[in-house]
Chain A
Amino acid sequence: MICFDQVRFRYRRDPVLRGLTFEGRRGEALGLFGANGAGKTTALRLCMALMHPEEGSVTVDSRSTAGLGPEDMVDLVGYLFQRPDDQLIRTTVREELAYGAERQGWAPERIAAAVAGALEECQLAGVAETHPYDLAMPKRRLVALASILVTDPKVLLLDEPTALLDRTGRALVAAIVRTRVAAGGTVIAVTHDPAFAIEALDRGVALEMGQVMQEGSPEELLRSGVAGLELPPAVVAAQRAGLTSKSLRMVDLASALARHRS
């Protein structure tokens, strides 16, 4: 679905990506890990045609980003920026959510239905008529997320999706990622959140010096100490206590623990 092929990119004469090659597949949530400056956000921005590679190619659903801008990718891709305040433009949450669909020329009834769905999914129905700036940061971030979900893009690009969120928000985002993936969508997330990585992601690549240094499951990457991260304490405790579980996600660990003889 998403293909980076030998991508090179410079930011003001400093090389950031040096031959980056990786894939994001359908029905999969991929994590981008790495220290600051490794090129994670840059890779995300290249996917959205916000920037273009000097060498190599970036294709999304067989569409090359060459010569295109983000407005040309919008039918396929939704991008969640790190700072929600840069993209909030309407005076109520409901109208905010409708923006993208309006841009794409959807019929009003279709927009209303999609907005209602996104409000429900992101637990924002109670604040639908509130001004986004009157909401606390965690809710505002969810509004930004909801607004890119409305048009149901096949690809979601998430930049630190759980930063600035509270506990319920983080659980919600992980659930949203899993739902999208189950429906065949592709998610690429830049994250420093180990719990989110375990809950939401299927695979990860670790970037270092603008290239892929490691690939594997979130567990493998966290265990190897990528970007100074560690496995979430709950996972460590479960493994050390000898639990056997279907996956490392909270719900499966809890079942395993519930079944475990004391």
Chain B
Amino acid sequence: MSAPAAPEGLAARAHPFTPLVVSLAVVALAFLLPAPAGPLLLAALLIIIAILGGDPRALIPAAWLAVPFWVLLFILHALLGDGPMRTLGPLTLSVHGSALALTQSGRFTAIIVASVLVIRGFRPGRFVDAALEAGWPWTSAYITAATLNAIPRFQERAVRVQEAMRSRGLRVRGTLITRAKAFVPLALPLMLGALHEVDERTFALATRQVRAEGVSRTPLRPPADTALDLTVRWGAVLAVLGAIAWRFVA
């Protein structure tokens, strides 16, 4: 009964290559931009893109992943770091450590938000068509699409598995420890089920001529590669090159 929500937002509407190129650029920029301001601004920018671009719900899974990291980095570097210290209210923080924590938090957040946006907006059929139009061989296009698509499928499955497990008494709500303990019993049915499903789907796909030889696949609905898409992709590449140049010059 539970159906996958149709991908929404900028990442889903753009040409499939655009979000991928941009997210790779984000990874590069996260490390190239001058710390700590650079990564933090990058993270903020991506959060704004998520909200304005039509997929604000992407921030929920991103937060789940990012916030524990922030806390960990803060404790590790800011509270427990050494060197010159500064007091901030009741806390005594390492200056250098705080900067490090902010930098790494910013980097991690930027990368996570970008990845979540890409995965949530991924449309495998469209990607394959775009790749074929761009001259990719069928196998590469298909495998890339199937891999990226595996994640949302995994998520849907995770929801179903969690329901089934809760219906047998697994407690997932409550304290952090309860939630953490709940993760382990969920992992096995998830993995096994996913592998099993891959197995069965492979049979079905084999009979749908996926392994056909000597023919090239016809793209059904190649997505339009608009001027905006090209601009954004080139813009991302130039931003990375610019950041590299800055590094050498500054």
Contact = CB atoms under 8 A, between A and B. Distances in A.
Interface of A: 11-12, 41-42, 48, 50, 69-71, 73-74, 79, 81, 83, 85-90, 99-100, 103-104, 133, 147-148
Given A42-B1, A50-B163, A69-B173, A85 B193 contact: yes
A90 B165 CA distance: 12
B196 A70 contact: no
Interface of B: 1, 5, 157, 160-161, 163-173, 185, 188-189, 192-193, 196-197
Nearest to B200: A85
Contact of B168 (A11, A12, A41, A103): A103
A12 B6 CA distance: 12
B166 A71 contact: yes
27 contacts: A41-B1, A42-B1, A48-B167, A50-B163, A71-B172, A71-B173, A73-B167, A74-B167, A81-B160, A81-B163, A85-B193, A86-B157, A86-B163, A86-B193, A87-B161, A87-B164, A87-B167, A87-B168, A88-B189, A89-B185, A90-B188, A103-B168, A103-B169, A133-B192, A133-B196, A147-B168, A148-B168
Interface of chain B: mostly helix, strand, loop or mixed: helix
Given A73-B167, A99-B169, 7 more contacts: A12-B5, A50-B163, A70-B163, A71-B169, A81-B160, A85-B189, A89-B188
B170 A71 contact: yes
Which of B161, B188, B196 has the most CB atoms of chain A within a 10 A radius of its CB? B161
Contacts of A85: 189, 192-193, 196-197
Contact of A70 (B157, B167, B189, B197): B167
A54 B164 CA distance: 23
Contacts of B157: 86
Contacts, number: 68
Nearest to B189: A89
Contacts of B164: 81, 86-87
Contacts of B166: 50, 69-71
A74 B168 contact: yes
A79 B169 CA distance: 11
Of all A-B residue pairs in the complex, the 7 with the closest CB atoms, nearest first, are: A103-B169, A87-B164, A70-B167, A70-B166, A74-B169, A86-B164, A79-B167
Nearest to A74: B169
Contacts of A12: 5
A104 B168 CA distance: 9
A89 B165 contact: yes
A94 B171 CA distance: 22
Contacts of A11: 1
Contacts of B161: 86-87
Contacts of A103: 168-170
Nearest to B172: A71
A31 to B, nearest CB: 18
A100 B189 contact: no
A100 B169 contact: yes
A88 B192 CA distance: 9
Nearest to A51: B163
B153 to A, nearest CB: 13
